[in-house]
């Protein structure tokens, strides 16, 4: 199974800046003697730029996706974007349950699970984020927190669980420059893998990504861990050289 490297631009970008960034990435891939043969790549952008990404990436090795999706199929939900709408723009992925959505928008485990279900029903792969805060880690709650978050999704999507992507993102390591050691990250990934295995005999099909300040310097050691199947990349995905360096570290 190839590693999966997904860029999350968060609320960044402009039409001109996006085009320059994407074209630089594509040029870098084309020029590389061995363009990350063990990594599948994707970029998740703000919804207003999905049409632009579709145009820039449709004939490329990079997939694209959204940073969120509505828990509703359609209706009077001003400002929401439905999974079917994402499918109209050929989105491969949709991030759900990112810690910033949980923290700033009050998204619950059940809401995240419903969003994952909506994405799957539309043929979009949800990237389900789980992770603990610094306080939760320091009080020994890491395992119980991530298992609770993932359990809600397993309960809701049932036999479709092997069609999701999971991203472990320790909240204390997002955008802080801090990162879990490879051993710390692997320990949590192993817990998640075991939880998936208890739900499905095909748990090995599920990519479990690490999302917590992964960069060119630490990517190789993180990606070498047996249960780390890729990365959900924040700030480094806004720099073509950094993103490609992470992709090249996948072996």
CATH number at residue 82: 3.20.20.70
Report residue 3's pLDDT band, with 50, 70 and 90 as the boundaries. very high
Residue tagged active-site, from 98, 100, 189, 207: 98
Categorize the per-residue pLDDT at 37 as very low, low, confident or very high, splitting at 50, 70 and 90.
Answer: low
* pLDDT-derived band at 180, boundaries 50, 70, 90: confident
Band (pLDDT 50/70/90 cuts) for residue 99 is very high
Q: What is the pLDDT of residues 183-231, one digit of tens each?
A: 999 999 999 999 999 999 999 999 999 998 899 999 999 999 999 999 9
Count up the domains in the chain and report the number.
1
Residue 175: pLDDT band with limits 50, 70, 90: confident
- Domain of residue 203, residue span: 3-248
Residue 251 has pLDDT above 80, yes or no: no
From the list 107, 169, 189, 207, the catalytic residue is 169
User: pTM value?
Assistant: 0.96
Mean local confidence (pLDDT), 145-151: 98
Q: Is 169 a known active-site residue?
A: yes
| Contacts by residues 118-123 (CB-CB < 8 Å, ≥ 24 positions apart) | 118/69, 118/70, 118/71, 118/72, 118/73, 118/82, 118/83, 119/69, 119/83, 119/86, 119/94, 120/157, 120/160, 120/163, 120/164, 121/73, 121/83, 122/82, 122/83, 122/84, 122/86, 122/87, 123/87
Task: List the beta strands (DSSP E) in 31-100.
Answer: 39-45, 62-66, 93-96
44 DSSP β-pair partners:
8, 65
**pLDDT confidence bin for 36, thresholds 50/70/90:** low
């Amino acid at each position: 199974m190839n590693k999966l490297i997904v860029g999350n631009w968060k609320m960044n970008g402009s039409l001109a800046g996006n085009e320059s960034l994407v074209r630089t990435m594509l040029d870098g891939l084309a020029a590389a003697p061995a363009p990350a043969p063990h990594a599948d790549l994707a970029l998740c952008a703000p919804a207003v730029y999905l049409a632009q990404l579709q145009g820039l990436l449709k004939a490329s090795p990079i997939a694209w996706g959204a940073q969120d999706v509505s828990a509703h199929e359609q209706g009077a939900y001003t400002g929401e974007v439905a999974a079917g709408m994402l499918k109209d723009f050929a989105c491969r992925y949709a991030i759900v349950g990112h810690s910033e959505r949980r923290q700033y928008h009050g998204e619950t485990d059940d809401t995240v699970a419903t969003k994952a279900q909506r994405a799957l029903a539309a043929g979009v792969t949800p990237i389900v984020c789980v992770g603990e805060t610094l306080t939760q880690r320091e009080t020994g709650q890491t395992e119980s927190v991530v298992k609770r978050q993932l359990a809600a999704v397993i309960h809701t999507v049932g036999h479709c669980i092997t069609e999701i992507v999971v991203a472990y993102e320790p909240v204390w390591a997002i955008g802080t420059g801090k990162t879990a050691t490879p051993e710390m990250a692997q320990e949590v990934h192993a817990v998640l893998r075991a939880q998936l295995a208890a739900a499905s005999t095909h748990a090995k099909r599920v990519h479990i990504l690490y999302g917590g300040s992964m960069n060119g310097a630490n990517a190789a050691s993180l990606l070498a861990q047996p249960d780390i199947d890729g990365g959900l990349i924040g700030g480094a995905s806004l720099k073509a050289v950094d993103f490609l360096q992470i992709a090249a570290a996948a072996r």
